[in-house]
Structure 1
Amino acid sequence: MAAHFGSRLRKGAATTAVAAAAVAALSASQAPGVTVDDHGRQTAADTTPSPETGADGSATGNSPYYTDLPPLNSPRPDPSSTAGTPVVQGPAEAGIPATVLDAYKKAADSLRAAKPGCNLPWQLLAAIGKVESGHARGGRVNADGTTLSPIFGPQLDGNGFALIKDTDGGAYDGNSSYDHAVGPMQFIPSTWAWAGRDGNGDGTKDPGNVYDAALAAAHYLCRNGWDLSTQADLDSAVLSYNNSRDYLNTVMRWLEYYRKGSHEIPDGTGGLPTGRSDTGSAGTRPAPSPQDTRTPDRAGESQKPTAPGKPAEPGKPAEPAPPGTGSPPPLPGTPTDTVDHLENAGTTGLTATAGQAFAERIGTRAETAAGKAVGKVRIRYTIIGDTDAAFAGGERVAVAVTDGSGVAVAPVLRAGEKTGSFTVRATVAGRAVPGLDYKATVTERVADTLARTVATALTCTPGGTFADRVEVRATYKGAAAHGVAVTATLIRSAQDPAVNDRGPYFKDAAGKPVRTLTGLRTDARGLLALPELYADDTAGTFVLRVTTAGGATLDVELTVRAAQTSSPAPSASPSPSASSSPSASPAASASPGA
């Protein structure tokens, strides 16, 4: 829930004084500013997120919030205190219901992995959850984190609050006339439609589930490239959640309190704050006590609208009017109220290569029925379709404000790795004006040249394995072509590209011969090493054709031939079978007369 501004702000002076005094040091560094809400009304705030950075009104529609401040005593002894000096603790206020605490921490862990530069502390989610719903009404949730009964803020019918007519057909808040902030983190339906997340993995995005709501709040606070470790970005993020200086001050006090220490308590045992920004009841500092025995009042219960004009009972906030019975005061012609339609402001074609930024930015012109330009209007750009394209920070939604010529220019859109077409829809934030769709197309990464990295001859014996693997380098306009799709096919010849049914082959995962490989991609240097090549028993010269998206082609020659056998060395001249010199006969050798 969140505060409202100007003449519609019904907040006791005591609340303002308490909150302002508690955080004077935080407020001193902020400069005055003006922002425009979803209906074109200007609302003052000391610090507001710049519309050009994509801040979209507020997550809560500036609904009411709890104003109670944490105890002055830290939840654990201050390390700087004098040794031996007892420090009173406030365990009841430092306690956070177990399931709710788990949701905050899991959401912060998820953002630490997805957007490490945001530096989101889980204690910030706890601080916002505290002032929005008292940690889901003291942890009244079931095992999967869904609140036991719905949590609704008052209907936003312009009667003391912002005017936000129904945007969800009553799907989330049960009201088909006006919106309510919904769930433990108090998202209005129009914000939940694009910011909602599935935090507990059940396949649904439920604003009444503390895991879903905490993760959505984490992503909401981490959009626009904000670094929450810096005070300026932290202030901008919190103010984008609820555009109120008092709200910022209250959240900051709880953030610092939880940073000093907290502990887990059983679900359903947490107490509820009592001060409310919409009833004039000032926030208080709970007195430290060993155990919180307070009975929650109806401030955080499911606020199903009852009879209009029902006065508040002592110590209880006024009930909101029933759905559709509010009587919003007439609104003067604000810029948003005068918009009749949207026009394309010259966007001609949105095409980008995978992984690259779209060169053209989307421009949309807001016009009256007479065709006149309307400035200071928030235009919401939403990416629709099966794509991983995104605006800055990985967001699928961005907001820009129309200038004096009525034109709002979307932030730079960057293509992901998924190819194909998707839609970017422009709508007027806070007004039911037909949207304007822009078609965007992501094309494949391409290469215009392929070459082998090593030009050695590739030979093999029948039935053997080629000693060298084929490695190629793809380039586009002389630069390495990263992530380009490559196909390798063993063809019959350079003139006949049909797949060969004999000769060299690759092996699939099962070890079977394959002669076409697809799904290959070059690395960051444009390189690709093909798998090993094998030869069957067919000898001859064969062709491996490598192609890429973009038309680059390379033919590689492969040779299969039997190993050469060495010829026998010529033999020496044959020796004579008998000696040329006569041998003496045995008789001749005998002595005469023997």
Structure 2
Amino acid sequence: MAAQFGRRLRKGAATTALAAAAVAALSASQAPDVTADSHGRQTASDATPSPEADADGSATGNSPYYTDLPPLNSPNPSPTTGTTPAAPGTTEAGIPATVLDAYKKAADSLGESKPGCNLPWQLLAAIGKVESGQARGGRVSADGTTLSPILGPQLNGNGFANIRDTDGGAYDGDSSYDRAVGPMQFIPSTWEWAGRDGNGDGKEDPNNIYDAALAAGHYLCRFGWDLSVQADLNRAILSYNNSQDYLHRVLSWLEYYRKGTHEIPDGTGTLPVGRSDDKDAAGPKPSPQEPRTPGTTPPSGDRPDNPGDTPTNPKPPTTPAPGSPSPTPPPPTPPAPPSTPTDTVHHLEDAGTAKLTAMAGDAFSAKISTRAETEAGKAVGKVRIRFTVVGDTDATFTGGESVATVVTNSSGVAVAPALRAGEKTGEFVVRATVVGRAVRGLDYAATVTERAADTLVRTSDAPLTCTPGGEFANPVEVKATYKGAVADKVAATATLIKSADDPAVNDKGPYFKDADGKAVRTLTDLRTDGNGLLKLPQLYADDTTGTFLLRVTTEGGALLTVELTVAAAETSSPSPSPSPSTSPSDGSGG
């Protein structure tokens, strides 16, 4: 969740009923699928987490979050200036300058790389508000790094998820259990693959709002969801933190920020009050209405003494009278959390994965299946298995990511998302590991082969003829297919050969020209276009007449031989002169 979890901030005096009314007012302009329930909380149809969301285990490890709801009134698009008091809601609508810039730049980047996702920057702002109160009111440096770490509680199973350390404390400083880290509250195992460099400094730092906002955007867009569609928006939010209440909070702030917001100085943002793990919370808590200015009391957890946490009229401690019973001793330390299924995993086994081979650009037909087992070979369910693409390859899982986390089913089996080959050919490895336990990984070899064609045909039946020393009028164009489908981007070679039985290069007859205008009779590095078409360069003829052969071959074994004819132009001969008529002989035979 958001801030370091020490003492609580003093809670506002507004009632739950007021907060409920706020959401009810917001819901009137919300998307068609969103309404307000009898408690004033937003609800959304089709809001159940998708299988993908469950599989990824959430970005935050389902850590606690702030539960404050937006103010009742709509925000103003710009802050009130002068001596007039700020209008209600203005302070809440303000977002610290650096934090706001990070959200907008992340959304712009996703607009270019994944335009179909339709990620609004206001969604990042809504999540940032619920997760960390906009990086604790914008307490960040000029480059966007938080001035002090923002850490969630230990995910040790004691009221939270049980996620044992996965990063050796590198991100969260805890080598026993994982904690959510930074303004967008990523757990280390998720940051390992979702982390991005948003400020161009060459590092991927979860404590930097530019890096964290860009990572959050990619995380929300990773399954090809269209966030302009309410059902997809709900799924994406639930994949971030798998809680219906969390969904309601984020949707409320999203709608609030969409109505208007403005930039405020870093460090002056308001801080949330209610937390989802606050057992004393009776319902939604309103946000405080006064911004915190630099130099004032920092948020809870920043220093050991928090006067802001002290009640307005604290009761003085009482001293027991002489002879009275001793004070009740503190309750015993709770026992360590029970072992989890992850603790029982001894090894991983292949669960019948077929051979992993795919042509460049295609999806692998087989999926990787891994089984988690105890030392005795018994299946272990509800264990998170991380699949990581390793090696010099651009192959990815569905959604464009190189890492996917899947929870084992009751049979102990986790099936990785479909793999899709990139353009790089060769071998690589997909490694399966157990999240939160030091168990030897299981490697699956995969191979990407060149794009191929099995058939080549000419696209025209026009004869290919030329006179000696001239050029062919019609180009040679062929179409490649593979198993009946268009074979695009397939490598091809064109060679003028001596004969059907002798594929050696012919040194006479038709030829192509290189960049210097010299004759060449073999062309390599050709490739079909997106429609499987290949149009060869202009062909020329020398002075040799006859019939010649052009052979086109492709990766995958497709072959086509084309006849070329070089013949002298026909010339029309003059009509023969009529023979002179012969006169019959006058002499008679005598």
- The answer to whether structure 1 residue 250 and structure 2 residue 225 are counterparts is no
Query: How much does 1:500 deviate?
Result: 4.1
> Match of 1:204?
203
Matches within 5 A, 1:379-398: 379-398=385-404
Q: Distance in 1 between matches of 2:163 and 2:15?
A: 26
Structure 2 equivalent of residue 519 of structure 1:
525
Unpaired runs of at least 5, structure 2: 4-9, 28-33, 39-45, 78-85, 312-332, 581-590
Instruction: Tell me what 1:221 maps to.
Output: 220
CA gap 1:349/1:208 in 2 versus in 1, 3 angstroms: same
State whether structure 2 residue 258 is matched by structure 1 residue 259: yes
Distance 1:174 1:489, change over 3 A: farther
- For structure 1, the residue ranges without an aligned partner over 5 or more in a row are 4-10, 31-45, 78-86, 318-326, 575-594
Superposition map of 1:174-573 within 5 A: 174-278=173-277, 284-286=285-287, 293=293, 297-299=297-299, 314-315=308-309, 329-501=335-507, 503-509=509-515, 511-536=517-542, 541-561=547-567, 563=569
How many Å apart are 1:57 and its aligned residue? 2.0
> What is the aligned partner in structure 2 of residue 61 from structure 1?
61
Q: Does the 8 Å contact 2:393/2:428 carry over to 1?
A: yes
Range that drifts further, 266-275 or 374-383 = 266-275
Counterpart secondary structure, 1:393: coil
* Aligned-partner SS, 1:104: helix
Contact 1:138 1:267 in 2 (8 A): yes
User: What do the CA deviations read for 1:127-171 (whole angstroms, capped 9, x no partner)?
Assistant: 111222232333344454334554333444455544433322333
SS at match of 1:92: helix
Letter in 2 for 1:237: A
- Aligned equivalents of 1:256, 1:425: Cα separation in 2: 41
> What are the superposed Cα offsets for residues 72-92 of structure 1, whole Å, 9 maximum, x if unpaired?
111139xxxxxxxxx945322
Secondary structure, counterpart of 1:433 in structure 2:
coil
Q: Which amino acid aligns with 1:257?
A: Y
Partner residue in 1 for 2:315? none
- Contact kept in structure 1, 2:23 and 2:69, CA below 8 Å: no
Cα distance, 1:184 vs structure 2: 1.8
SS for the counterpart of 1:131 is: helix
Asked if the contact 1:20–1:246 (Cα under 8 Å) also holds between the matched residues in 2, the reply is: no
CA contact (8 A) 1:272 1:297 kept: no
User: How far did 1:551 drift?
Assistant: 0.9
Larger mean CA deviation between 435-444 and 496-505 belongs to 496-505
CA drift at 1:423: 2.0
Partner SS, residue 456 of structure 2: strand
1:75 equivalent in structure 2: 75
Distance 1:196 1:530 in 2: 45
Shift of 1:109: 3.1
Answer yes or no: is the 8 Å Cα contact 1:90–1:287 preserved in 2.
no
CA distance in 1, matches of 2:147, 2:541: 69
Q: 1:136 to 1:12 in 2, by over 3 A?
A: closer
Q: Which residue of 1 aligns with 2:43?
A: none
CA distance in 1, matches of 2:92, 2:11: 23
Q: Deviations over 1:297-322 (max 9, x none)?
A: 43377x6xx9xxx78654289xxxxx
Kindly state the Cα deviation for residue 95 of structure 1 after the two structures are TM-superposed. 1.6
Note closer, same or farther for the CA distance 1:165–1:54 as it changes in structure 2 (3 Å cut).
closer
Displacement of 1:125 after TM fit?
A: 0.5
What residue number does 1:95 align with?
A: 94
Give the match's secondary structure for 1:70: coil
Alignment deviations for residues 472-528 of structure 1 (CA, whole Å, 9 cap, x no partner): 122334444333322112334433333345543334456554433233333454332
Larger radius of gyration: 1
1:12-36 superposed Cα distances (whole Å, 9 cap, x missing partner) = 9999957777557768789xxxxxx
The alpha-carbon distance between structure 1 residues 122 and 328, as it changes in their structure 2 partners (threshold 3 A), is farther
Per the alignment, do residues 403 and 189 of structure 1 end up closer, same or farther by CA in structure 2, a change over 3 Å counting? closer
SS in 1 for 2:246: helix
2:267 touches 2:292 (CA, 8 Å); kept in 1?
no
Give me the whole-angstrom Cα distance separating, in 2, the residues matched to 1:456 and 1:116.
44
* SS in structure 1 of the partner of residue 271 of structure 2: coil
Tell me the residue number matched to 2:6. Answer: none
- Give the structure 2 partner of residue 170 of structure 1: 169
Per-residue deviation, 1:120 = 2.5
> Match of 1:198, SS?
coil
Q: Is the 8 A contact 1:138 1:271 kept in 2?
A: yes
Amino acid at match of 1:165: R
Quote the Cα distance in structure 1 between the aligned partners of 2:15 and 2:357: 51
Following superposition, the deviation at residue 286 of structure 1 comes to 4.4
Cα distance, 1:465–1:342 mapped onto 2, change above 3 Å:
same
Which is further off, 361-370 or 408-417? 408-417
Offset at residue 573 of structure 1 (A): 11
**Structure 2 partner of 1:41:** none
Q: Against the structure 1 CA distance between its residues 137 and 361, is the aligned structure 2 distance closer, same or farther, given a 3 Å change threshold?
A: same
Identity of aligned residues (%): 73
Distance in 1 of aligned mates of 2:74 and 2:498: 80
- Change in CA separation of 1:415 and 1:149 when aligned onto 2, cut-off 3 Å: same
Q: State the alpha-carbon separation in 1 of the partners of residues 179 and 570 from structure 2.
A: 87
Partner amino acid, structure 2, of 1:62: N
Q: Is the 8 A contact 1:503 1:535 kept in 2?
A: yes
1:316, 1:530 → 2: CA distance? 82
- The 1:161–1:264 alpha-carbon spacing in structure 2 relative to 1, beyond 3 Å, is same
2:49 counterpart residue number: 49
